[in-house]
Chains A and B, each alone.
Chain A
Amino acid sequence: MTANQLPGPDELTERERKTVEALVFGLADDEFVLAERYTEWQVRAPTLESDLALSNIAQDELGHARLWYDLLEEFGYTESELLFERDPAEFTHAAFVELPFEEGDWADAVLRGYLYDTAEQLRLGALEDASYPRITDRIGKITEEESYHREHAQNWLERLCDDPEGRENVQAATDRLFPHALALFEPVDPDREAAIQELGLRSEPLADLREQWCAITVPFLDSLGVRAPVSEDGTLPELPDDHGRSSAHTGHWPALHEELTRTYRELDRTDTPTITSDPDHAQ
C-alpha cells in the first residue's frame, strides 16, 4: 500500500476520477473485445480440449472486464452507456484485440493469447500497489485466474513449433501481430498517463512494462525458432497507424461492434434491466 491513498469513488476530485477512468476503460475494453473475438473459436478449435480452454479463457476475460466496468458504474455510468450505447469510436482498447482471425488460423489465436496474457500479467503486477483501493481489491482474484491462460498458450506454441509448417504459421502470426501488440503499452491519453503515474495508480511507466514484456516474449519465441520483428540492437517495429487506444481503430472494429451490440438492438433494449441494486458498491 502506498502512503497516498485515494478516497472512495464518491470523494474523488474531478481530475482523480478522470484519471482512474482513463486507466480502467483501457483495461476493461481490452478484456471485453478480446473475449468477443475468442468466442469465435467456440466449437471451431482444433481439439475438444482447446475448444473448452478457449471458451473458458473468453469467459474469464469477460468476468475481468466486468470487474473493471463495475468500477466505472460506481462513477454513475450504466451498463448500457458503457457497452451497448457507447460510440464505437470511444472504445479505448488496443486494435490488437479487435483484429479478426483468418479462418482456421489457430497459430494466431494462441500467439495472440500468449502476447496478451504476458502483457496482462505485467500490467496487473504494476497495479498491485495502486493508490485506489477499488483497483487493488480485485488484482489478486484476476491474477489467480490468469496463470493457466499463459500455460495454455505456451504449451500450444511449443507444440505448433515442433512442426515446420506449424512454426511457419506461428512466424507469420508473429510478423503480423507483434507490432500491434505493442499498442497494449500505449497510453489512452498522454496527459492522463502522466496523472496515472503522479497519483500512484500504476507503479511503473508503460515503457518499462513494454521493455519487460519484450524481455520475456522475444527470447521465448526465439527458443521456438520464431523471430520477433525486433532488430539486433533492440529497435522495436513501428506501431501500425490504426492501433486503437488514442488513435483510430482498424476497419475491423465497426463490424465487430455491430455484432456485439446486435442482440441488444434486436431486442429493442434501451437499457439493461436491474433486478437488484448493484451490491458491488464502494466500501
Chain B
Amino acid sequence: MTLTYTGCPARKMLLSDVQSAVSGVDGVEECDVRLVWSPEWSIEFITDDGANALEAFGVSVP
C-alpha cells in the first residue's frame, strides 16, 4: 500500500487497520503489509467505491 502524503499523521493507524482487515478475511493465515512510495499516489487511484465512500463522508472527489 501507499499513503497519499509522506507526512501522514495517521500512518501507523492506517497500516494497522489494513493489517487487521486483511488478517480478518476468511482463509487468510498470514498478512504482510508493505508500504511503498513508488508509484506515487495520485487522485486517479481512487476507485468508484472509494469516491462514493469519501462523498458519503463529506469529501468530494473531483
* Interface residue ranges, A against B (CB under 8 Å): 59-60, 62-64, 66-67, 136-138, 140-142, 144-145, 275-276, 279-281, 283
**Proximity bits, B25-62, A CB within 8 Å = 1, else 0:** 00000001111111111000000000000000000000
* Interface residue ranges, B against A (CB under 8 Å): 5-9, 12, 15-16, 19, 32-41
Contacts of A280 in B (CB 8 A): 34-35
Write the nearest CB–CB distance from A84 to chain B, whole angstroms. Answer: 17
Q: Is the CB of A141 within 8 A of B38?
A: yes
Which residue of the partner chain A has the closest CB to B36?
Answer: A137
Contacts of B36 in A (CB 8 A): 137, 283
Majority-rule SS of A interface residues: helix
Q: Is the CB of A63 within 8 A of B7?
A: yes
Write the nearest CB–CB distance from B41 to chain A, whole angstroms. Answer: 8
Asked if A140 meets B38 with Cβ closer than 8 Å, knowing A60-B7, A63-B5, A67-B6, the reply is yes
Bound-state CA distance A131–B40 (Å) is 20
Bound-state CA distance A26–B32 (Å) is 30
Asked if A275 meets B16 with Cβ closer than 8 Å, knowing A60-B7, A64-B6, the reply is yes
Asked if A63 meets B37 with Cβ closer than 8 Å, knowing A276-B15, A276-B16, A276-B19, the reply is no
Write the nearest CB–CB distance from B39 to chain A, whole angstroms. Answer: 8
